[in-house]
């Protein structure tokens, strides 16, 4: 069995594969119009013969939501609540924007249907479900060309009987049907409806995509999909619940960083993933940080996700001048097509072009020499652009880098400083194809003492696919006040969730002995509107007070505390490849690892910079900056104010000296 991790990005599709302790990596340009084309072409090129076990981080659901290219979706809810999905919350993200407009609803008004039938907050039936009305609605849906249906009734989390009845009747349409109690069994009907509608909106697209992949794989090949929570689910589950894959690719990077960082002895990380289109950052404090509610393209998604903050700054981000004459970078990107100028077709200056202009990229060593960059194309674009701003071309290139670094610095501050963490207490874990050229400069800006760059950083998200567990998250709203009662009173709620998890894992041929459970609670002070996620244990109330103090700067001991939701994280650990170790050497790198000198522009002047081949470095080798380290998937820049050491796993640990 060959294990394969695949991550589809905006510019490149990354593949890592392993069998019998041998590893291989492969990068190819993505095919945004149909991501499966790049994957299938790469697998054909690699010609791997054994049965394949693929773990895939997919952007299909994400892109369908971001680009509004999902399916025509209908919503069925209680009579009188048809427009709740459009009304939403009163929050305005841009208070002073006089031209602000709400994100258009995914379900148009003529596709929202109300049905008589009510259940109260305790699960009691107040009004019977009107099956005749639903039969009439089904006729309308069949005639309207709707491709997917979302069903969300009030208090279905307390009693889902009406949703189940609706689901059984809707089966006659032979289209995907998403029931809210199966997607999100929690209160807050707007967020639950939004999450369910998103699932329905992207389901046909995801089903078509995964089916295409499976049709071209062998009968003995398997495929699973990365979830936003860091775990994996079967392809069949992903087709039914694609909303769980919205942040699939970036989650793989955080999982991979956590596993590699922990093995190297670093448990507190700020992950920095700079790709071709965007940069993703996340904070790992002993483990990935989870968020229970995110907003994607203006639509709330209330599911556990790894907390990842994204900014539109990547290698392909375009430089431009605003109406006031100021230089800007991103969020627009050259993407894979036409790509940066140096790729051969682009005409807009990108961050990658700026790095090449400053000498920080080597044209003949991009992707191990498989893709030759074209520096000769740069001057005809840099000269007029720099004249427009009254700068020298190198000053323009440095300005582009500085602006991109500032945007990424701000993103890291959002997930660290603004949440009460000091970046100086963490290690910056850098990956992504472009991360190694910017990480050390960012670390100095933020006061972070060291940077860890793993082997094959340009495909770390794909590596994270192979290092992931199978994880399923369950929740149930119970809404009860706690007065210090023994924790045993919560046991029945958790037992129900655990039984559900065992049934789901059994359907995937996973035995009970392979499953571990993590119990969690959503807690708040009585009267508050939002909850904190607290690990369940004998002193969970004390833990809540302490977490509230850490998060908000105060706590109120003795105040009434509510448990809103019980949560369960069920985990099964599959067989994973072991992290590779490298041969040991002395402090001085082997002569064979040195491959010449390069003039590189650092902080206003040119520096003669040593170039090294990372594949030939040994454990214990030290590299004094300035240096450029090349490898297949990335380029690492060590400025004059830093130095690096190679550890036993081949990671480069870069220390900041000033």
Report angle CA 35, 36, 37 to the nearest 5 degrees: 90
Looking at residue 635, its pLDDT comes to 94
Whether the per-residue pLDDT at 508 is higher than 90: the answer is: no
pLDDT band at 487 (very low <50, low <70, confident <90, very high): low
| 182 compared with 93, residue with greater pLDDT | 182
Percent of the chain with pLDDT over 70: 99
**CATH number belonging to domain 70-201:** 3.40.1360
Strands lying side by side in the sheet with 112-115: 112-115, 73-78, 148-151, 177-179
The residues, ordered by sequence, that sit 6+ positions from 417 with a Cβ below 8 Å of its Cβ are 423
Looking at residue 403, its pLDDT comes to 96
Q: How many CB atoms lie within 10 A of CB 140?
A: 13
Whether the per-residue pLDDT at 165 is higher than 90: the answer is: yes
Q: Quick one: which of 339, 290, 291 has its CA closest to 314? A: 339
Q: What is the average pLDDT across 121-140?
A: 96
Note whether 638 and 629 are within 8 A (CB): yes
**CATH number belonging to domain 2-65+208-245:** 3.30.420.40
Whether the per-residue pLDDT at 486 is higher than 70: the answer is: no
Q: What is the average pLDDT across 312-324?
A: 91
| Token representation of residue 213 | 């992949």
Is the previous residue joined to 338 through a cis bond, with omega within 30 degrees of 0?
Answer: yes
The enclosing H or E element of 546 equals helix 540-552
Looking at residue 483, its pLDDT comes to 66
Q: Quick one: which of 330, 323, 365 has its CA closest to 350? A: 330
Whether the per-residue pLDDT at 485 is higher than 70: the answer is: no
Question: What is the tens place of the pLDDT at every residue in 168-209?
Answer: 999 999 999 999 999 999 999 999 999 999 999 999 999 999
Which residue bears the tokens 């849906």? 141
Q: What is the average pLDDT across 504-525?
A: 92
How far does CA 192 lie from the centroid of its chain? 21
Strands 635-638 and 627-630: antiparallel
Which residue bears the tokens 């054994």? 50
Report the distance separating Cα 110 and Cα 113, nearest Å. 8
> Where exactly are the structural domains of the chain?
2-65+208-245, 70-201, 470-572
Mean pLDDT of the chain: 92
pLDDT band at 352 (very low <50, low <70, confident <90, very high): very high
Looking at residue 627, its pLDDT comes to 97
Is residue 628 classed as helix, strand or coil in its secondary structure?
strand
Is residue 563 classed as helix, strand or coil in its secondary structure?
strand
Cα→Cα distances 3→22, 51, 155, 276, 318, Å: 11, 9, 43, 26, 36
Strands (E), 297-398: 299-301, 305-306, 309-311, 317-321, 327-333
Q: Quick one: which of 375, 374, 392 has its CA closest to 383? A: 392
Task: Give the least confident one: 93-102, 151-160, 188-197, 608-617.
Answer: 93-102
| Token representation of residue 404 | 């991109």
Is residue 528 classed as helix, strand or coil in its secondary structure?
coil
| 112 compared with 94, residue with greater pLDDT | 112
Strands 279-285 and 290-291: unpaired
Strands 73-78 and 148-151: parallel
pLDDT band at 414 (very low <50, low <70, confident <90, very high): very high
Whether the per-residue pLDDT at 652 is higher than 70: the answer is: yes
Looking at residue 524, its pLDDT comes to 95
Predicted structure pTM score: 0.89
Whether the per-residue pLDDT at 285 is higher than 80: the answer is: yes
Whether the per-residue pLDDT at 90 is higher than 90: the answer is: no
Question: What is the tens place of the pLDDT at every residue in 265-284?
Answer: 999 999 999 988 889 999 99
Cα→Cα distances 234→55, 143, 220, 472, 629, Å: 9, 33, 15, 11, 38
Query: What's the helix, strand, coil split of the chain in %, to 5?
Result: 35, 30, 35
Cα→Cα distances 286→170, 249, 256, 265, 267, Å: 45, 21, 14, 11, 5
The residues, ordered by sequence, that sit 6+ positions from 529 with a Cβ below 8 Å of its Cβ are none
Question: What is the tens place of the pLDDT at every residue in 7-41?
Answer: 987 778 999 999 877 888 888 888 888 899 999 99
Looking at residue 481, its pLDDT comes to 87
Q: What is the average pLDDT across 32-53?
A: 89
Residue 520 β-bridge partners:
535, 567
Whether the per-residue pLDDT at 445 is higher than 90: the answer is: yes
Whether the per-residue pLDDT at 147 is higher than 90: the answer is: yes
Looking at residue 54, its pLDDT comes to 93
Which residue bears the tokens 């492969």? 26
């Amino acid at each position: 069995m060959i294990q394969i991790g695949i991550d589809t990005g905006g510019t490149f599709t990354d593949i890592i594969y392993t069998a019998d302790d041998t590893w291989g990596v492969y990068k190819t340009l993505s095919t945004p119009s149909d991501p499966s084309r790049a994957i299938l072409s790469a697998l054909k090129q690699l010609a791997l013969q054994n049965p394949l076990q693929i773990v895939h981080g997919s952007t299909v659901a994400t892109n369908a939501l971001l680009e509004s290219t999902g399916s025509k979706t209908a919503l069925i809810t209680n009579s009188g609540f048809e427009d709740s999905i459009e009304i939403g919350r009163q929050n305005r993200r841009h208070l002073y924007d006089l031209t602000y407009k709400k994100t258009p609803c995914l379900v148009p008004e003529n596709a929202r249907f109300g049905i008589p039938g009510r259940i109260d907050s305790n699960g009691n039936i107040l009004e019977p479900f009107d099956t005749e009305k639903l039969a009439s609605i089904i006729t309308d849906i069949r005639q309207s060309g709707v491709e997917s249906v979302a069903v969300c009734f009030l208090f279905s989390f307390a009693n889902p009987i009406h949703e189940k009845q609706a689901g059984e009747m809707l089966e006659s349409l032979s289209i995907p049907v998403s029931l809210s109690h199966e997607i999100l069994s929690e209160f807050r009907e707007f967020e639950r409806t939004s999450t369910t509608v998103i699932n329905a909106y992207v389901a046909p697209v995801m089903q078509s995509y995964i089916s295409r992949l499976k049709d071209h794989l062998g009968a003995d090949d398997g495929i699973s999909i990365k979830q936003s929570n860091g775990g994996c689910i079967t392809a069949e589950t992903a087709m039914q619940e694609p909303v769980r894959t919205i942040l699939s690719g970036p989650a793989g990077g955080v999982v991979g960083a956590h596993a590699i960082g922990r093995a190297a002895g670093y448990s507190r990380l700020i992950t920095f993933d700079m790709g071709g289109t965007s940069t993703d950052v996340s904070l790992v404090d002993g483990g990935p940080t989870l968020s229970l509610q995110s907003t994607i393209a203006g639509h709330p998604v209330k599911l556990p996700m790894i907390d990842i903050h994204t900014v539109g700054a990547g290698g392909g981000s375009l430089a431009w001048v605003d109406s006031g004459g100021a230089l800007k970078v991103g969020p627009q990107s050259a993407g894979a097509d036409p790509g940066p100028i140096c790729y051969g077709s682009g005409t807009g200056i990108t961050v990658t072009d700026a790095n090449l202009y400053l000498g920080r990229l080597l044209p003949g060593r991009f992707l191990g020499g498989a893709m030759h960059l074209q520096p000769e194309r740069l001057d005809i674009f840099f000269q007029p652009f720099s004249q427009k701003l009254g700068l020298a071309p190198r000053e323009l290139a440095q300005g582009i880098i500085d602006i991109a670094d500032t945007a990424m610095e701000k993103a890291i501050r959002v997930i660290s400083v603004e949440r009460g963490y000091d970046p100086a207490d963490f290690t910056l874990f850098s990956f992504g194809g472009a991360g190694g050229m910017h990480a050390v400069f960012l670390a100095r800006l933020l006061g972070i003492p060291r940077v860890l760059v793993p082997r094959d950083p340009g495909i770390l998200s794909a590596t994270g696919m192979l290092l992931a567990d199978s994880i399923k998250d369950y929740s149930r709203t119970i809404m009860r006040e706690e007065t210090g009662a023994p924790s045993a009173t919560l046991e029945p709620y958790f037992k129900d969730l655990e039984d559900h998890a065992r049934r789901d894992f059994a359907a995937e041929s996973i035995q009970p002995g392979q499953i571990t459970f993590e119990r969690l609670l959503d807690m708040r002070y009585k009267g508050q509107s939002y909850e904190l996620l607290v690990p369940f244990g004998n002193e969970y109330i004390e833990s809540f007070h302490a977490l509230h103090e850490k998060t908000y700067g105060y706590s109120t001991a003795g105040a009434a505390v509510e448990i809103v939701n019980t949560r369960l994280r069920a985990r099964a650990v599959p067989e994973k490849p072991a992290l590779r170790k490298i041969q040991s050497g002395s402090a001085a790198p082997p002569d064979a690892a040195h491959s010449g000198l390069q003039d590189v522009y650092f902080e206003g002047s040119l520096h003669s910079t040593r170039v090294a081949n990372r594949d030939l470095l040994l454990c214990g080798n030290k590299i004094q900056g300035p240096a450029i380290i090349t490898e297949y998937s990335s380029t690492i820049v060590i400025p004059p104010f830093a130095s690096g050491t190679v550890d036993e796993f081949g990671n480069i640990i870069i220390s900041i000296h000033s």
